[in-house]
Amino acid sequence: MSDRVLRLSDTMTNRLRPVAPVQSGHFRFYSCGPTVYSYAHIGNFRTFLTADLLYRTCERLGWKVSYVSNITDVGHLTQDDMADAAGEDKMAKALRSKEGERFANIWDLAEHYADAFKADWMRMNLRKPLVWPKATQHMREQILAIEKLIQTGHAYETPTGVYFDVSSFPEYGKLSNNRDQERLLRAVRNIVTDENKRHPADFALWKKDDKHLMQWYSPWGWGFPGWHIECSVMAMQYLGETIDLHAGGEDLIFPHHECEIAQSESLTGKTFANTWIHTRFLQVDGEKMSKSKGNFYTVRDLVDGERVDPLALRYALITVPYGKPLNFTRQTLRDAAQNVDRFRECARLAEAAKARGAKGASAGFAESLRQLADEMLEAMCDDLNTSVALAKALGGTSVIFKAGDSMTADDAPAALAFLDEVQALLGIVRPEQAGVQAPSAPPVDEERIEALLAERAAAKKARDFAKADAIRDQLEAEGIELRDTPAGTLWRFKTTP
Ligand code: AMP
Ligand code: ZN
């Protein structure tokens, strides 16, 4: 195990704090996943990437990692962020929309978007969590938890549902700093959706509704759970009563995470999560991403629709550390694609060096790459500072490019080890899911390309440069780029969007 210290910006204490597993060497964390009423957008993925980078960093520190990320498929209401529990279930609203017409029912819609989300997750090179628990598959556990909260005086029933009594948990507001009444009332905007609620900030644990498209029978009749209870229940079920860390996007600090704390800590009397981290929002062209502004992108809009390399998208989304807002632009994506290409090119150079077999290690080559890999991990331990880590990774590519075609076979392993290190920590060198290729690399007839390259080489030898150039232009038009090296002509697909 490494003696390096991982430090993260803890939302609870508002401090950069050392983070380590409570159970020796085993880090357990939870990150809130998507509500599957639509395809996840690149902002959601920025938040999921934070969890992925944390996972990778913990692994590099030698810890075993248990990571759980839920799938919300019931109970998240359209106005949950404004007032509890107002609005309509997002899932039901999606079914009534134009896009909803293609689904047989709400379960069908939930399954479709959950499957699409997992597919996007995998091609963005995100590590698979231990489990992706669904709210609808943990109904018994949620009902039991609510019953216990009622029995212990933390919750009460009204004609419309069951509510958590915030006055029963004096620490309510400790995460979001909404501790005094005035702030709390401002945060919940004083909107009372159920006049039997004792306090406007009391939040729904269960909504009575025998018309809801997804409903379960409970001690309080037919209905469905509030949004917050699923995360408390599923985090504790899979990871234990006190977890090392809980993560999510910045909009979840209040009310979602505040409510999770109130529920969990009232149930167990123990600290729910030792550290909390929140990813700042992704903006597009300096503005909030929204469908009406036309700057709203899902992963599939870019990857399937525009053939953007998922690795380039991943790179673009991690250029700025999670604690700062990221402004996503087309230029960020173009630069990212070029940088991702550098790693591919470095791998090709190292493989070519191995094949050439030239002997002799170059002075300082392996050592500078080792040093840069070390600094990359150091940057990630410094509050997941991806901008410094990426600079170190690119620094390594410059070292490899400098060696270029004169790299020896003895230097090649150090270059490849460096790329493996970049891959393990940042996941931007190659796809990790079997069978995933950059979308800009469609199935190719390699034999035909090789034959054209041989024809071009012959034309050059015969000093028929017009013909050689014509072959290059033909391949260029097909999106194939050529590079003449002492080891022969190399080809690749252009990946820049
Ligand atoms: P949702 O599907 O709305 O429940 O969101 C899933 C996750 O994505 C949550 O952790 C949100 O905080 C996060 N999220 C939503 N919008 C953005 C955004 N624009 N940038 C970063 N994270 C976001
Ligand atoms: Zn959650």
Q: What is the DSSP string of 292-319?
A: GGT---BHHIIIIIS---HHHHHHHHTS
The pick from 32, 47, 260 for probing ligand 1's pocket by mutation, whose C-beta has the most ligand atoms within 8 angstroms, reads 47
In ligand 1, the atom with minimum distance to the C-alpha of 32 is 10
Residue 43, ligand 1, Cβ within 6 A: yes
**Which two three-digit tokens encode residue 301?**
């809009």
> What pLDDT does residue 442 have?
44
Exposed / middle / buried, residue 87 (Cβ in 10 Å: 0-12, 13-18, 19+): middle
For the CA of 73, the nearest ligand: 1
Sequence-ordered list of residues with C-beta below 8 angstroms from that of 475, at least 6 positions apart, any chain = 449, 452, 481, 482, 491
> What pLDDT does residue 492 have?
67
Residue pointed to by tokens 């780029």: 481
CATH code that applies to domain 6-279: 3.40.50.620
Residue 274, ligand 1, Cβ within 6 A: no
Alpha helices, DSSP H only, in 26-105?
42-60, 90-96
Q: Tens digit of pLDDT for each residue in 293-309?
A: 778 899 999 999 999 99
Q: Among 145, 183, 147, which residue's Cα sits nearest to residue 272?
A: 145
205 CA to middle of ligand 1, Å? 22
> What pLDDT does residue 441 have?
42
255 CA to middle of ligand 2, Å? 10
DSSP string, 255-283: IIIHHHHHHHHHHHSS-SEEEEEEEPPEE
In ligand 1, the atom with minimum distance to the C-alpha of 249 is 12
Residue pointed to by tokens 């204490």: 13
CA nearest ligand 1 atom 11, residue: 249
Q: Tens digit of pLDDT for each residue in 147-156?
A: 999 999 999 9
Q: Are 234 and 264 in contact (CB under 8 A)?
A: no
**Which two three-digit tokens encode residue 421?**
């290190």
485 CA to middle of ligand 1, Å? 46
> What pLDDT does residue 443 have?
45
> What pLDDT does residue 448 have?
82
Q: Among 229, 223, 169, which residue's Cα sits nearest to residue 201?
A: 169
So where are the chain's domains? Answer: 6-279, 323-426, 446-493
Strand partners, 493: 480
Q: What angle do CA 227, 72, 113 make, to 5 degrees?
A: 150
> What pLDDT does residue 437 have?
53
End-to-end CA distance of the chain: 41
> What pLDDT does residue 293 have?
78
| The dihedral sign for the CA sequence 335, 336, 339, 340 | negative
> What pLDDT does residue 191 have?
66
Four-CA torsion 8, 11, 15, 21, nearest 10 degrees: -40
Sequence-ordered list of residues with C-beta below 8 angstroms from that of 33, at least 6 positions apart, any chain = 48, 69, 70, 71, 72, 117, 132
Q: Tens digit of pLDDT for each residue in 319-329?
A: 999 999 999 99
Supply the DSSP symbol for 165.
-
In ligand 1, the atom with minimum distance to the C-alpha of 36 is 2
Supply the DSSP symbol for 126.
P
Residue 279, ligand 1, Cβ within 6 A: yes
By DSSP bridging, strand 203-208 and strand 221-225 are antiparallel
In ligand 1, the atom with minimum distance to the C-alpha of 31 is 10
Residue 32, ligand 1, Cβ within 6 A: yes
> What pLDDT does residue 449 have?
83
Phi-psi region of 435 (alpha: psi -120 to 50; beta: other; left: phi over 0): left
55 CA to middle of ligand 1, Å? 19
Exposed / middle / buried, residue 69 (Cβ in 10 Å: 0-12, 13-18, 19+): buried
237 CA to middle of ligand 2, Å? 14
Strand partners, 371: none
Q: Are 203 and 226 in contact (CB under 8 A)?
A: yes
Q: Tens digit of pLDDT for each residue in 184-209?
A: 888 877 666 788 999 989 999 999 99
| The dihedral sign for the CA sequence 216, 218, 224, 227 | negative
Residue 75, ligand 1, Cβ within 6 A: no
Weakly modelled stretches of the chain, pLDDT under 70:
1, 80-86, 190-192, 434-445, 479, 485-487, 492-497
| The dihedral sign for the CA sequence 105, 107, 110, 114 | negative
- How far is C-alpha 12 from the chain's CA centre? 22
CA atoms within 13 A on the CB side of 288: 3
Q: Tens digit of pLDDT for each residue in 263-297?
A: 999 999 999 999 999 999 999 988 888 777 778 89
**Which two three-digit tokens encode residue 104?**
């047989």
